[in-house]
């Protein structure tokens, strides 16, 4: 039997989550107004309504907070994406819907992603996004009908290729000021991601 004490996190854990959430929200708001490099610990602490010492209880510096906030947002995004089943008759429509949500989430926090995925950005964040996306593709391929999605290329290679390509397109789009809408990006990206399978099928016919 689970007691109330066991089912509820300790108050200290809740305080940690609240403080980190407040710091992340403050940073996300600030980074939309100015470059990440121009944001200080004092700026974030003041905007979050906490002391500098409270900030340092959780993070070494603003960049570490930014990495933590960004990876958390990516995790939430990927977990909530409408994932297409690769055997679905509506695969293209479902994939485009998921890609639209992906690009849409990036535009909501474009300043933060631009800072962390650009030339002077974070290898940790880029690697985290790549691994998460590759994991999703790998899982979908593993559960797909082998007759429709045969392993002509090892699934781990296909997943890494797909994730890397998607990140490359996303970073270029963000750095260019998100000139196309998320829906437009999804429409033009899906055929490119899907092309490797279509080419293989054509070659086997």
Q: What is the DSSP string of 129-167?
A: HHHHHHHHHHHHHHTS-TTTS--SS-HHHHHHHHHHHHH
Q: What is the average pLDDT across 154-165?
A: 88
In CATH terms, 4-59 corresponds, of 1.10.15.40, 1.20.120.1730, 1.10.10.60, 3.40.50.40, to 1.10.10.60
Percent over 70 (pLDDT), the chain? 80
Output the DSSP codes for 56-75: HHH-SSHHHHHHHHHHHHHH
- CATH 1.10.357 placement within the chain: 64-204
- pLDDT exceeds 60 at position 205: no
Q: Which residue has the higher pLDDT, 184 or 151?
A: 184
CATH architecture of 64-204: Orthogonal Bundle (1.10)
Per-residue pLDDT at 178: 94
pLDDT tens, residue by residue, 44-81 = 999 999 999 999 999 999 999 999 999 998 888 887 66
**Is a pLDDT exceeding 80 seen at residue 201?**
no
Cβ atoms of 63 and 122 within 8 Å: the answer is yes
pLDDT band at 204 (very low <50, low <70, confident <90, very high): very low
Q: What is the pLDDT of residue 35?
A: 87
| CATH 1.10.10.60 in the chain, residue ranges | 4-59
Q: Residue 71 corresponds to which tokens in the numbers above?
A: 């990876």
Specify the DSSP element, H or E, that contains 44: helix 41-48
Distance CA 93, CA 190 (A): 10
The predicted pLDDT at position 94 comes to 82
């Amino acid at each position: 039997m689970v007691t109330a004490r066991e089912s509820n996190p300790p108050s200290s854990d809740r305080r940690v989550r609240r403080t980190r959430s407040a710091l992340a929200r403050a940073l996300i708001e600030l980074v939309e107004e100015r470059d990440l490099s121009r944001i200080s610990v004092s700026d974030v602490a003041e905007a979050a309504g906490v002391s500098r010492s409270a900030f340092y209880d959780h993070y070494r510096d603003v960049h570490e907070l930014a990495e933590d906030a960004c990876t958390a947002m990516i995790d939430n995004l990927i977990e909530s994406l409408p994932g297409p089943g690769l055997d679905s008759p509506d695969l293209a429509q479902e994939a485009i819907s998921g890609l639209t949500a992906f690009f849409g989430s990036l535009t909501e926090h474009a300043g933060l992603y631009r800072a962390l995925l650009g030339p002077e950005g974070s290898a940790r964040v880029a690697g985290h996004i790549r691994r998460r996306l590759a994991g999703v593709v790998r899982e979908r391929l593993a559960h797909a009908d082998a007759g429709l999605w045969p392993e002509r290329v090892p699934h781990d290679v296909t997943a890494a290729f797909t994730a890397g390509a998607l990140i490359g397109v996303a970073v270029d789009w963000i750095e260019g000021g998100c000139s196309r809408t998320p829906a437009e990006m999804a429409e033009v990206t899906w055929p490119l991601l899907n092309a490797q399978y279509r080419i293989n099928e054509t070659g086997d016919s």
